[in-house]
A and B are shown apart, each in its own frame.
Chain A
Amino acid sequence: CSLSKNKFTNNAYTLERPIKTTMLDALNKVTACYRHLVIALGSTSDSQNLREELKKTRKKAQELAVANRTKLTSLLKDKNISKDDRAEYERLWVLFTSSVELLEVDMKRSLEIGQDFPLKVPTRHLIQTGMTGSTTTVAARAMSVQNMKYEADANIDTVDLKELETEIAQVDQMMEEMEMKVQVAPWAVEAKQEAGAELKSTVSVGNSSVGVISICEEEPKETVEGETGLMKVFAGVIFTAVLLIAGILGYLVINL
């Protein structure tokens, strides 16, 4: 979260803002995880567990959306806020609406794909995409828990779809209401981030993924360059260690 808190220290609302952005951050996180899960639908990563994960993540996302909406609408409806504050809240509003739109699209798509790829059939025709691992860690991240618990019935794939339809209608309605009640011109909002701001992130995406890219690029060899370096060093270290130990043992055996 890159919001500067210095500007508004004298403002009565300073205390509330940190809370708000954590809710917004949480919504953002859950939206990203939900998208990740929907991508796995219909593929070989799909399973009863995935459907349950989707359901839980979705519900969490909706809770967060409603909470954010209430907070933001009450803030924006207040006439006594300064211009700067208003601009900031409008920016947060645009963040919020973009998140909800993404969520809505993903919900609709998950309905479509869920219907096309039922699980409780004699022969499943899931697309063999090469993804075989489970998505449980992603869902755990979304729900902010350590481990996911699975307690759904076997026919979740059909039952859940009906619930999903009603939830989509609810989200649609919520968005319409939002559009009506809150008069924010999204195009008038100025983003705080510059182009390339993501490069200044403190998030280390991990060394391994840097090397992974070379596989998808136009390189004739199917080797993983960054990986190779690391593994080579590691293997070298172990090899020399084993050699040393073997040498020492041999020396001891010979001498004793």
Chain B
Amino acid sequence: MTINTLSQDGVQRQQMPCLTKMERMIISMQDPDMGIKLRNQRLLITVIPHAMTGLDIVEWLIKKCSISDEEALHVGQLFVKYGYIYPLKEPRNLILKADDSSYRFQTPYYWMSTRWPASELDYAIYLAKKNIRKQGELIEYEKECYNALHKRINHTWDFVVMQAREQLRASKQRRKGDRIVLECQEQAYWLVNRPPVSPEHYKLTTLTKNTIAMLTPWCSLKYIGVSNLNGSYVKYCEQYQPHDPIMQGCLPSNPWITDDIMFWNMNSETYMFIVALPTKLRVERWSFSFMELLNDQMGRKEFLTYLEKEFSAENLCFWQACEDVRHGETAKIPEKVDEVYKQFLAPGASRWVNIDSKTMEKTLEGLKRPHRFVLDDAQMHIYFLMKKDSYPRYLKSELYKNLLARAIVPQETKKSVFPFMRRQRHSSPSPALATQTAEDDGKAKYSNSNSGTASRL
């Protein structure tokens, strides 16, 4: 709701400790006996009190804190930099000079505060006031800020103008000297909180902009070669694209659209529905990664057949048993682990797996207190063994190649003669569109809505 939300939580924030310390020092400078000696600032007609020279400040700091010249100058600089003291002659130059240049204290409202950061709305009001006073003659930087603010907080601009006018009318009620001080104070506050940008900075920003413009075309290149992640992600997408039902469509037809579950039956994972021949896409997918092969029940079965020929079937069985332990019931874990040990790990076991001695020791140690992940190390070892050794050989084997040759490519369901009976192969671009058309046409036929959507493609 607000742009001043920062100041709304302001009370919960703490003032920065360094600022609190500075405040305390400023207050101690006000002491009538021990404080800084103040003089009057003489303008042509008006005399404004409470001015001090840079030298006064430095000397007071030396006396009060018993520090050296340099340190006192540095501390004094901090006061000026953070806006607790502002220079009178050269307001834009926020430095402390240890000579007779005059300075004045800033009023507590304008003290730097982490609890009350300078808000954009206030800055806009200040610039509007300055605009009125100077009849539109703002400096370059302020003009830019003004325009930027006008764009950013446009919705409260009326308020900005109204408030600027009212604040000026209110300050007209004060007497001359006070009015001068008020203006100097406000200006000093904004010079600290919104420092003007130097021309060098402008050059730098244009340089940065040009550099960015030059480098942008490079970012759109596909193979930058800088990041392997980028390359491998692209490779992954390319590899899997033919298998994605949304991108490529699925044969024979998308069950969600055509209500024909042939696709699911042909690719089923459950053992019950094992089909004679898998689809070509499915078999190809086994060659992408070992995990793909293992995740597919049919693939696993084929792989097991292959391993049996190679006399290393126990590896896969062991792996499967470990998976069972990991994902099975907690109550049965000790029992299962025991089984695994007897079958695969015990010396002289019927299906002894070849694990290196270190892992074997660790596993045997862990078996004394069996838990879900006790066989993880061994499983990992066998997994990598299969992946590096058996799997590549399987992919090159006759068994696999034969299967790939025999794999079928299902026919796309025949398109009906009548257009309204047509089944679409590609899924609709957005389910929202489909439902919208369905709503629009009332209880239209499902196929009707689909052809309607397709015609929009």
Closest Cβ neighbor of A222 among chain B residues: B43
Closest Cβ neighbor of B146 among chain A residues: A195
Closest Cβ neighbor of A139 among chain B residues: B173
Chain B residues with CB under 8 Å of A31's CB are: 163, 166
| A105 & B7 in contact (Cβ 8 Å cutoff) | yes
- Chain A 93-123 near chain B by CB (<8 Å), digits 1 or 0: 0110111011011001100110011000001
Q: Check: A224 CB closer than 8 A to any chain B CB.
A: yes
B132 CB contact (under 8 Å) in A104, A116, A186, A198: A198
From A35-43, A73-81, A153-161, the one touching the partner chain is: A35-43
Closest Cβ neighbor of A231 among chain B residues: B45
Query: How far apart sit A190 and B150, CA to CA, in the bound complex (Å)?
Result: 11
Chain B residues with CB under 8 Å of A43's CB are: 107-108
Which residues 59-91 of A have a CB within 8 angstroms of B? 91
B154 CB contact (under 8 Å) in A127, A131, A190, A215: A190
Q: Check: A56 CB closer than 8 A to any chain B CB.
A: no
Query: How far apart sit A137 and B175, CA to CA, in the bound complex (Å)?
Result: 10
A129 CB contact (under 8 Å) in B106, B128, B147, B161: B106
Is chain B's binding surface mostly helix, strand, loop or mixed?
helix
Which residues 30-65 of B have a CB within 8 angstroms of A? 30-32, 38, 41-45, 48-51
Chain A residues with CB under 8 Å of B1's CB are: 97, 179, 186
Q: Contacts A130-B177, A141-B169, A203-B165 known; A190 to B155 CB distance under 8 Å?
A: yes
Smallest beta-carbon distance A94→chain B, Å: 6
| B155 & A186 in contact (Cβ 8 Å cutoff) | yes
Q: Contacts A98-B159, A130-B50, A196-B136 known; A123 to B31 CB distance under 8 Å?
A: yes
Chain B residues with CB under 8 Å of A109's CB are: 109, 116
Q: Check: B187 CB closer than 8 A to any chain A CB.
A: yes
Closest Cβ neighbor of A32 among chain B residues: B166
- Chain A 200-236 near chain B by CB (<8 Å), digits 1 or 0: 0101011011101101111010111001100100000
| B131 & A198 in contact (Cβ 8 Å cutoff) | yes
| A36 & B176 in contact (Cβ 8 Å cutoff) | no
Q: Check: B405 CB closer than 8 A to any chain A CB.
A: no
B-side residues, CB < 8 A to A, are 1-2, 4, 7-8, 10-11, 26-28, 30-32, 38, 41-45, 48-51, 89-93, 104-110, 115-116, 119, 121, 128, 131-136, 146-147, 150, 154-185, 187
Known: A39-B182, A186-B2, A191-B157. 5 other contacts (CB 8 A): A42-B108, A125-B27, A195-B150, A205-B133, A210-B133
Can you list 26 residue pairs at the A/B interface with Cβ under 8 Å? A29-B166, A32-B167, A42-B107, A94-B159, A97-B1, A102-B4, A105-B8, A109-B109, A112-B115, A125-B27, A127-B105, A128-B49, A131-B178, A133-B177, A137-B174, A138-B171, A141-B173, A191-B156, A191-B157, A199-B135, A203-B165, A205-B133, A213-B133, A215-B43, A224-B45, A228-B44
